[in-house]
Amino acid sequence: MDADLNAARRAVRDCRSMCVLTGAGVSAESGVPTFRGPGGMWKNRDPMSLATPEAFEEDPKTVWEWYQWRRGLIRKCSPNAGHAAIARIEREKEDFLLVTQNVDGLHRLAGSKKMAEFHGNIWIVRCTGCGREEEVRDDFPVLPPRCPSCEALLRPGVVWFGEQIPSAALSESLAMLERCDVLLIAGTSSVVQPSASFAYAVARRRGTVIEVNLEETPISDVARYSFRGRTGELLPAILCA
């Protein structure tokens, strides 16, 4: 473990171009529930059954109640040492991109700037009628909320299952996967595409893949270094050595 930790630190220190991919596990120590872990369920509903366009079409009020609950939780959360370590390594690298599947905005609060938000942002609200988008931090008094301009339903500015990843974020990430020397994957179950295939893309051209997760995941065998533990401890250990 120590030898691997030192080798991973060296790979990070010596690389010119670096990509970091994060998932819900990175925010778990800040108090944001993960999707597939304990605390992810809401009123006995599986998040996976709520984060879909079909669920919203059928029952927008319930989907909004879930998002309002998540927004309430996230509002009280602050970035942790893992977020801070990622923001810090960005400043040290000439070529860097953070790809996050998280919608909580905690990376930005920690200071990350070179970032692709694959699944959108929970603080953005978009009109299903006129397409108007704005950042809204406060709770909505009435759910589901309606557009002040055209009265159509508002929806959270996130990407649901079956929807497209924002094209700029996707193309920027795919280009980075072609050139990065190191890909660090942290706190994601690596089951949701397209991010689940990042590790294969980089390993295929012999880039260094490093994983940090509490558990083994489908990409653990592909990673050159795969660490079991908390991102709040391991990311500073790997990135800030």
195-224 mask for ligand OAD (x: CB under 6 A)? -----------------xxxx-x-------
Close Cβ partners of 16 (under 8 Å, ≥ 6 residues apart): 93, 94, 95, 181
Q: Nearest-CA neighbor of 77 among 123, 21, 36?
A: 123
Residue 166 to residue 28: CA distance in whole angstroms: 25
Q: Counting contacts by CB under 6 A, is residue 69 touching ligand OAD?
A: no
Which of the residues 70, 119, 126, 224 is marked catalytic?
119
Q: Counting contacts by CB under 6 A, is residue 188 touching ligand OAD?
A: yes
Of the candidates 66, 230, 238, 239, which one interacts with ligand OAD according to CB under 6 A?
230
Q: Counting contacts by CB under 6 A, is residue 64 touching ligand OAD?
A: no
Cβ of residue 63: shortest distance to ligand OAD, in angstroms?
A: 11
Q: Nearest-CA neighbor of 112 among 90, 81, 80, 79?
A: 90
Residue type, position 49, single letter:
S
Residues 108-147 that bind ligand OAD (CB under 6 A): 119
Q: Counting contacts by CB under 6 A, is residue 51 touching ligand OAD?
A: yes
Burial class (CB in 10 A: 0-12, 13-18, 19+), 148: exposed
119 assigned to active site: yes
Cβ of residue 239: shortest distance to ligand OAD, in angstroms?
A: 14
Q: Counting contacts by CB under 6 A, is residue 23 touching ligand OAD?
A: yes
- List interacting residues with ligand OAD (CB under 6 A): 23-25, 28-29, 34-37, 47-48, 51, 101, 119, 159-161, 187-189, 192, 212-215, 217, 230-231
Active site residues: 119
